[in-house]
Amino acid sequence: MNRGKPNQLARCHACGQVQSLARSKQESHSQQEASSRQAPPAHTKCIRCHSHVSLRIPQSIHKTWALLITAAILFIPANLYPVMTVVTFGSGEPATIFSGVIQLIQADMIPIAALVFIASILVPLFKLIGMAFLLTAIQRQWRINQQYATVMYRFIHFIGRWSMLDLFMISILVTLVNMESVARILTGPGATSFGALVVVTMFAAHTFDQRLIWDLLDKDNHK
Amino acid sequence: MGREINNAQYANLLLCPDCDLLIDKVTLSPNETAVCSRCQAKVLRHPKNSVNKVIAFALAGLLFYLPANFLPIMSFELLGFEATNTMLNGVSQLFNEGYYWMAFLVLMCSVLVPLFELGLLLTIALQMKFNKTNSLTTKLLLAYQHLSEWGMLEVYMLGILVAYIKMITMGSILVDMGLFCFVGMLVSALLTASCFDTQHAFDQLEANA
Ligand SMILES: [Zn+2]
Ligand SMILES: [Zn+2]
């Protein structure tokens, strides 16, 4: 299978233009030549749209790990602190994401409870575990099924945005239930952490370079 | 300047964005999509009648945009008290409660980015239709490419649905005009995006230049 990287060919992530990075290696400054031989120029500008072009996202593994660890830390306050408080006749009842799901189950709204549980708890958790698995597999050069790993990554990438469901729901409920002393729904501090969690995991999915999954095959061939 | 030659040399090649496989460029008819033989990623897409459709759908989306954002989406009544929800008063309520970060996030994903997406696509499509493309078009295309991931109208729609079902048992909840405009905006935005492909637009820009 002929691939881009061995031929010093890179695809611009923004416009799709295929271009050679080989020439810019000769043009590059001597300081880069002086560094290790196996490191070609990390990136250059796209000939068509002037975005950064590189064979692989620079420092993809490290950046993704950093974002993933941040997300794992944010996962704790996001689930421990209440995301909203329902105040009826002056007495408040703070609800975390999980207790919100329990309340929905008790109110016999099972499908909605399942939806909120999946979007707010399972999806972030699956993203954290799935991305950690992919990163470890690449770093340890595990023999994984490239097809399955790619499908898994695409799934992680696709579901990420749906975690915003809880935040949108809160922004709707705070105005809908806004009856001064009778009933109010207030935002809780957990929502801030949760919002950060969603954004950080989306960035993590973004900095991860899928092609590293398929690079494992090349390493197998060389052995 | 040597890289210009490289450009022509590799113009007949495609690289799979997902697995880095080298693929010979194929010519697609409208409405066709080329898929990577190894990992099934979409490597090339030719949207059907794209420019006219993008203009039509983006205009429709922009027409729905103001009423969708300002008209009440739902209203809720409890013991004689009534409250309504619009997309923007949700944001301002979060802001007033001091949750600036959440207000910013909701504002970006459900209000600002969808507007930018529609506006950018309309501008790009109009420029292409009347052959008025310039260096600005490239910048607009890049802006769209980077923003599009953060527009989340379809997730907001689900949020409306969940909020509605949650409140049914608590009091009387009514859907309002804003919801119909929101659905109109959502459908228009989805259709606009489906008729547009950034890479195809870049290829066309280059062909016309
Ligand atoms: Zn480019
Ligand atoms: Zn592929």
Identify which ligand lies nearest to the alpha carbon of B39. Answer: 2
Structure tokens at B151: 């527009």
pLDDT tens track for B91-141? 999 999 889 999 999 999 999 999 999 999 999 999 988 988 888 999 999
pLDDT tens track for B36-45? 988 999 888 8
A19 to B10: CB separation less than 8 angstroms, yes or no:
yes
B3 to A191: CB separation less than 8 angstroms, yes or no:
no
In angstroms, the separation between the Cα of residue A91 and the nearest Cα of chain B is 17
Buried b / exposed e along A79-111 (16+ C-beta atoms within 10 A): bebbbbebbbeeeeebbbbeebbeebeeeebee
In angstroms, the separation between the Cα of residue B16 and the nearest Cα of chain A is 8
Residue B179 pLDDT > 50, yes or no?
A: yes
CA distance B32 to B36: 13
Mutate to test the interface with A, among B20, B79, B102, B117 (most CBs of A within 10 A): B20
Which pLDDT value is given to residue A205? 92
Which pLDDT value is given to residue B7? 55
For residues B145 and B31, the model is more confident at: B145
Angle between the A146-159 and A123-140 helix axes, to the nearest 10 degrees? Answer: 150
CA distance A75 to A97: 11
Q: Nearest residue of A to residue B207 by CA position?
A: A48
Residue A124: burial class (beta carbons within 10 Å; 0-12, 13-18, 19+):
buried
pLDDT tens track for B10-20? 778 889 999 99
- Positive or negative: CA dihedral A6, A10, A13, A17: negative
CA distance A178 to A186: 9
pLDDT, chain B, mean = 88
Which pLDDT value is given to residue B4? 46
Fold of A60-222: Butyryl-CoA Dehydrogenase, subunit A; domain 3 (1.20.140)
Global pTM value: 0.89
Angle between the A60-80 and A189-207 helix axes, to the nearest 10 degrees? Answer: 160
Task: Tell me the ipTM for this assembly.
Answer: 0.89
Residue with tokens 């421990």: A80
Average pLDDT over residues B58-77: 93
Which of B137, B155, B144, B146 has the alpha carbon at shortest distance from B206?
Answer: B137
Which pLDDT value is given to residue A137? 93
pLDDT tens track for B154-174? 999 999 998 998 888 778 888
Largest CA distance in chain A: 74
CA distance A145 to B122: 42
Question: B50 falls in which pLDDT band (50, 70, 90)?
Answer: confident
Structure tokens at A27: 């043009």
Residue B5 pLDDT > 50, yes or no?
A: no
Q: Nearest residue of A to residue B152 by CA position?
A: A161
CA distance B138 to B132: 12
Evaluate whether B202 touches B141 at the Cβ level (below 8 Å).
Answer: yes
Least CB–CB distance from A168: residue in B7, B159, B167: B159
Q: DSSP assignment, residue A36?
A: -
Buried b / exposed e along A173-206 (16+ C-beta atoms within 10 A): bbbbbbbeebbbbbbbebbbbbbbbbbbbbbbbb
Structure tokens at B97: 């409660």
Q: What are B42's strand-pairing partners?
A: B35
Which pLDDT value is given to residue B153? 95
Q: Percentage of chain B with pLDDT > 90? A: 50
Identify which ligand lies nearest to the alpha carbon of B40. Answer: 2
Three-state DSSP state, B143: helix
Which pLDDT value is given to residue A32? 45
Domain ranges of chain A: 5-53, 60-222
Structure tokens at A103: 């309340």
Residue B2 pLDDT > 60, yes or no?
A: no
The ranges of chain A with pLDDT < 70 are 1, 23-43, 219-223
Q: Is A165 on the interface with B (CB under 8 A)?
A: yes
Q: How far is the CA of A166 from the centre of ligand 2 (A)?
A: 34
Identify which ligand lies nearest to the alpha carbon of A46. Answer: 1
Enumerate the H helices of chain B as residue ranges. 2-9, 50-70, 87-96, 100-107, 113-129, 135-147, 153-168, 177-194, 198-208
Which pLDDT value is given to residue B134? 85
Q: Percentage of chain B with pLDDT > 70? A: 95
